[in-house]
Amino acid sequence: MEAKNIEYENLYYKLKEVTNRLDEITQDTNNLKQQIEDLMPWNDLDVEISDISDGEDTKIFAGTIPLKQLEETKIELSKLKYTHLQEVSQDKAFEYVVVMTVNDEYNATIETLRKNGFNKIDIEGQKKASEEISKHENSISNLDKEKVDLEKQLDHYTVHLGKLELAYEYMMNQRLKLTASEKFARLSDVNITQGYVPTDMVENFKKVLSDTLGNRYYVEIKEAERDDPNIPILLKNNKFNEVFESITTMYALPKYNEIDPTPFFAIFYWVFFGMMVADVGYGVLVLIGTTIALKAFNLKPNLRKFVGFFFFLSISTIVWGLVYGSAFGMSLPFKLIDTQNEAIRLLMISVIFGGVHLFYAMAIQAYMKIRDGKPMDAVYDVLFWYMALMGAIVFLIGSMVPSVPSSVGNIAKWVMIIGMVGIVLFGARDSKSPVGRLVGGLYELYGISSYVGDFVSYSRLMALGLAGGFIAVAINMIIGMLPKNIIGIAIGLVVFVFGHLFNAFLSLLSAYVHTSRLTYVEFFGKFYEGGGKAFNLFKNDAKYINIK
């Protein structure tokens, strides 16, 4: 069935008529309910609403008085000979009253009521309030019946749903074409436009033009300028890396003269996330859930990437769960790291991972400087820092570990000193005065303290993994303290399911947040700026039909 041949207009107008009436019914029902609510305080009033009006010599009106002013009002009005106040009902704060007076006492009555907080109310309706309420309730009942009938009519149209969805997508594509055509510069016989085409789609683009227009077109294609900030960005990665693109786009797309950081941080993100959750049971739950979602549902591309993101992370969680020997807080018969007795070892592993992460980011910075024709900047801004940091680390290890030869410590010390001197001399090389250059260089060297903070930041890899594991163990301990009877087992089952689901949710959320934080602050901070514009593909974002 071709979408453009679908006869949908009659169907559309019939459906539109039904849905419009449903909207009217909803609005009318809400109005009637509000009128009932307004009338309820007057339900016990034994006069018709139309009688609450002014006569030739009398005035009758309704309103509310604050409860705390009621007695004072009654006393003052009792001093007027022909004025009467009738109490009708009350709520938590107000008394609903009807006041009757004559023209000669009207001004005195109004003044008394005014100073006691009286608020006049115009009651809508003609008959008694109770009769008006009953009438409105009957109207609502009739509207409800009509609504049910209309909804049954809608059910009969569901057989046309697929056809309507197809027609909708076709019309949206037609609208997109019309919108795009408005961007063409129009001459008498020629239309002109310009735009961007991904490099690897240029040949296909030419073929589409040729197949569509024959020889009635002219196209000129040139390579985009690398430093043009207006070049739109379209990320392209393999199946594993592309699920991590959301982390990049949430921070900022790269500029055209930058590199896409996604493939560089993806593997670290995968490792760090699993290390922070580190439970086989939690990983298996996520793996099963994401696998079912990917296989059973026709997900939209962005949602499929998001589900795939957690699919890959669940594998890392299982791997680290096996390393820690933990499944739902219970110890497995094998493990590579005993989290209860080897916290220091785990901390060292976390810091080493952090060091690799940071030095890798600095290497990317060096690559970008060399690529841009600035090799000496790579020496000043990266190599000297490598020397200062690596020299300091090896020197400290040599000082604390007796088995390390003293010559190694001495070499490390001089490497560190050379690196620090290089930072001081060239860290502020853009400064015009020697004093400013020296002071700026010392300030750059002071930045070594931020590296200490960066290394410490990676201790969260250990801390979050241990925290989630200890909470899981605590849940199991609570279950173990329950009575060993049917009631205890039933309660234990509930505690196990909800306790571990809650802990899994917290662990996954914490791992997502803190791994993103390590990526954005520690990793991106060394080389990545971002700020690129997204490439908008010339196609409709389908609402009902997902074409692979």
pLDDT value at 194 more than 60:
yes
At residue 81, the 3 state secondary structure works out as coil
pLDDT value at residue 262:
96
Burial class (CB in 10 A: 0-12, 13-18, 19+), 379: middle
Q: In 181-212, which positions are buried (b, 16+ CB within 10 angstroms) versus exposed (e)?
A: eeeeeeeeeeeeeeeebeeeeeeeeeeeeeee
- Residue 283's pLDDT is 96
State the pLDDT at residue 304. Answer: 92
SS3 330: strand
pLDDT of res. 3: 62
pLDDT digits (tens, 9 = 90+) for 292-337: 999 998 888 889 999 999 999 999 999 999 999 999 999 999 889 9
Is residue 383 over pLDDT 70? yes
Is residue 8 classed as helix, strand or coil in its secondary structure?
A: coil
How is residue 380 annotated by DSSP? I
Q: Cα–Cα–Cα angle for 296, 300, 303, nearest 5°? A: 85
User: What secondary structure, in 3-state letters, does 399-419 show?
Assistant: HHCCCCCHHHHHHHHHHHHHH
Of the candidates 155, 156, 148, which has an alpha carbon nearest to the alpha carbon of residue 25?
148
Query: According to the model, what pLDDT value does residue 399 have?
Result: 84
Show the CA angle centred on residue 522, arms to residues 345 and 264, nearest 5°. 95
Scanning 79-220, the segments in alpha helix (DSSP H) are 106-115, 129-156, 161-181, 202-213
Residue whose pair of structure tokens reads 């024959």 in the numeric block: 214
Q: Is the pLDDT score of 547 beyond 70?
A: no
Q: What is the Cα–Cα distance from 433 to 436, expressed in whole angstroms? A: 5
Q: What is the pLDDT of residue 274?
A: 96
Q: Does the pLDDT of residue 548 top 80, yes or no?
A: no
pLDDT digits (tens, 9 = 90+) for 469-507: 999 999 999 999 998 889 999 999 999 999 999 999 999
Q: How large is the average pLDDT for residues 113-122?
A: 92
Average pLDDT over residues 419-429: 89
pLDDT (average), residues 243-252: 94
Q: Pick the residue with more confidence: 3 or 294?
A: 294
Q: Is the predicted pLDDT of residue 543 greater than 80, yes or no? A: no
**Which spans in 161-279 are helix H?**
161-181, 202-213, 239-242, 245-251, 262-277
Per-residue pLDDT, 386: 92
Buried residues in 6-28 as b, exposed as e (16+ CB within 10 A): bebeeeeeebeebeeebeebeee
Distance CA 61, CA 121 (A): 8
Tokens 């453009």 — which residue? 4
pLDDT over threshold 90, residue 41: yes
| Rounded average pLDDT over 455-464 | 92
- For residue 331, count CB atoms less than 10 angstroms from its CB and return exposed for 0-12, middle for 13-18, buried for 19 or more: middle
Point out the least confidently predicted range of 161-170, 337-346, 463-472, 520-529.
161-170
How much is the mean pLDDT over the chain? 90
Q: Which of 132-141, 428-437, 521-530 has the lowest mean pLDDT?
A: 428-437
Contacts within 8 Å (CB) and 24+ apart, 541-548: 542/169, 542/172, 542/300, 543/165, 543/168, 543/169, 543/172, 544/165, 544/166, 544/168, 544/169, 545/165, 545/166, 545/169, 546/298, 546/299, 546/300, 546/301
Statement: residue 250 has pLDDT above 60: yes
**CB-CB contact of 226 with 252 (8 Å):** no
Whose tokens are 């996954």? That residue is 508
Window from 158-172, 218-232, 371-385 with minimum mean pLDDT:
158-172
What is the Cα–Cα distance from 317 to 279, expressed in whole angstroms? Answer: 6
Its pTM surpasses 0.85: no
